[in-house]
Chains A and B, each alone.
Chain A
Amino acid sequence: GENVEQHPSTLSVQEGDSAVIKCTYSDSASNYFPWYKQELGKGPQLIIDIRSNVGEKKDQRIAVTLNKTAKHFSLHITETQPEDSAVYFCAARLGNEKLTFGTGTRLTIIP
């Protein structure tokens, strides 16, 4: 099965700076890579995703890059704001069904 590793487990950045979270996956057949933001006591919220036929995708301050050869993908948040503080999870999908999640990154934005 698929295995997803995520780093770092915690990340603190100054407001306005950029944050980068990295994930690696094990199965080269994985074809879909979403990122979720989870605030305390809430369900995971899909914030951006990328498919295996694309190398980069951007949505305002958030971007995701995918390197299929190295089997890793990254989340980039620019111009961070206090409301970006949350736990972020990457995930990978093998086939059409289940998502395999990473272990999460607790991002803290320091005002």
Chain B
Amino acid sequence: EPEVTQTPSHQVTQMGQEVILRCVPISNHLYFYWYRQILGQKVEFLVSFYNNEISEKSEIFDDQFSVERPDGSNFTLKIRSTKLEDSAMYFCAIRTTSYEQYFGPGTRLTVT
């Protein structure tokens, strides 16, 4: 099973601040995803990223969100101006060549 790490494990930020969540796949992958899970709710798709471009995004992924792969290994999710409702677990996932998606342990984002 491919391994995915995420940092930080927990991020507390004030409303209006910018946050960057990081994902580091251990091995080489081409497809990356961000999902979020509000406490007690289902996992929701945010964005998919392939070949250094966004390939699909949900209506949640508005102009406050951006993704990039700055150095060929890290995959980041930036929230430019956090809102209270951005508080959630954020999961990075990678897709294998057989289309399976494997999730990282998540970052708990708390916006106060």
| A interface list, Cβ under 8 A from B | 32, 34, 36, 42-46, 49, 89, 91, 93, 96-104
Contacts and interface: CB of A to CB of B under 8 A. Distances in A.
A102 B43 CA distance: 8
Is the contact region of chain A dominated by helix, strand, or loop, or is it mixed? strand
A102 B42 contact: yes
Interface in B42-65: 42-45, 48, 55-56, 58
9 contacts: A34-B101, A46-B100, A46-B101, A97-B48, A98-B33, A99-B45, A100-B45, A101-B44, A102-B42
Contacts of A101: 42-44
B99 A43 contact: no
A104 B33 contact: no
Nearest to A90: B42
A63 B61 CA distance: 35
A43 B106 contact: yes
Nearest to B50: A97
A29 to B, nearest CB: 15
Q: Which 6 A-B pairs have the closest CB atoms?
A: A98-B45, A43-B103, A101-B43, A101-B42, A44-B103, A43-B105
A36 B104 CA distance: 13
Contact of A34 (B58, B91, B100): B100
A62 B107 CA distance: 29
B105 A42 contact: yes
Interface string B85-110: 00000010000000111111110000
A2 B34 CA distance: 18
Contact of A46 (B43, B44, B102, B106): B102
Nearest to B46: A98
Contacts of B48: 97-98
B99 A46 contact: no
